[in-house]
């Protein structure tokens, strides 16, 4: 079997404040949107710009950190995988949502809720490191399970 790669990396600004909820099993899940811009010159020599909005989900400790550190307008780096989930609506129509399930998040400007200049967070690393090697509050140093919790939760149990 051949290997495949599913990696998404975006740098953009939060389009809305993060929204955090908990699954029935107690897993934190935070959702937010990141806007990215693309600029180009058309054949008519006109400057064009297009904005794309990306739905992002962060689980467990990374989700809690995103909820604490991010707010609308913040510039952020997100790395994760692309996932499309589907569900049946109340009217019987099938709905689809494509999103990035975040593995890493870096705040790129100093307008965060906690007043930090740059914060780095990762599901792979339970500690968030701050610019200037400042320590993160003790609460953020709890270990994160090695397995990806997002895969353990069925799509119909995601609370959005």
Residue 2 lies in a domain: no
Average pLDDT (96-120) is: 73
Pick the more confident residue, 155 or 4. Answer: 4
pLDDT per residue as tens digits for the range 33-89: 999 999 999 999 999 999 999 999 999 999 999 999 999 999 999 999 999 999 999
Reported confidence tier of residue 112, pLDDT bands at 50, 70, 90: very low
Residue 57 lies in a domain: yes
Residue 56 lies in a domain: yes
Print the domain residue range for 126. 8-145
Residue 119 lies in a domain: yes
pLDDT at 159: 59
Pick the more confident residue, 96 or 144. Answer: 96
- Answer whether 78's CB lies under 8 Å from 102's CB: yes
Residue 156 lies in a domain: no
3-state secondary structure of 139: helix
Average pLDDT (26-33) is: 96
pLDDT at 148: 40
CATH number, domain of 39, equals 2.40.50.140
Residue 106 lies in a domain: yes
pLDDT at 71: 94
Quote the number of domains for the chain.
1
pLDDT per residue as tens digits for the range 128-160: 333 333 333 433 334 344 344 444 555 555 655
pLDDT at 9: 97
pLDDT at 156: 56
Bridge partners of residue 129, in order along the sequence: 120
Residue 60 lies in a domain: yes
Residue 3 lies in a domain: no
The CA–CA distances, whole Å, from 120 to 6, 36, 105, 142 equal 22, 20, 6, 15
């Amino acid at each position: 079997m051949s290997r495949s790669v599913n990696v998404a990396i975006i740098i953009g600004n939060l389009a809305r404040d993060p929204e955090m909820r908990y699954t029935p099993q107690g897993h934190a899940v935070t959702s937010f949107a990141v806007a990215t811009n693309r600029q180009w010159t058309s054949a008519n020599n006109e400057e064009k710009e297009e904005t794309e909005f990306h739905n992002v989900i962060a689980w467990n400790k990374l989700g809690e950190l995103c909820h604490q550190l991010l707010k609308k307008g913040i510039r952020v780096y997100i790395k994760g995988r692309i996932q499309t989930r589907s569900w049946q609506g109340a009217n019987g129509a099938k709905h689809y949502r494509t999103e990035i399930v975040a593995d890493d998040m870096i705040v790129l400007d100093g307008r965060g809720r906690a007043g930090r200049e740059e914060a780095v967070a990762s599901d792979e690393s339970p500690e968030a490191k701050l610019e200037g090697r400042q320590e993160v509050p003790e609460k953020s140093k709890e270990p994160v399970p090695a397995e990806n919790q997002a895969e353990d939760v069925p799509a119909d149990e995601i609370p959005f």
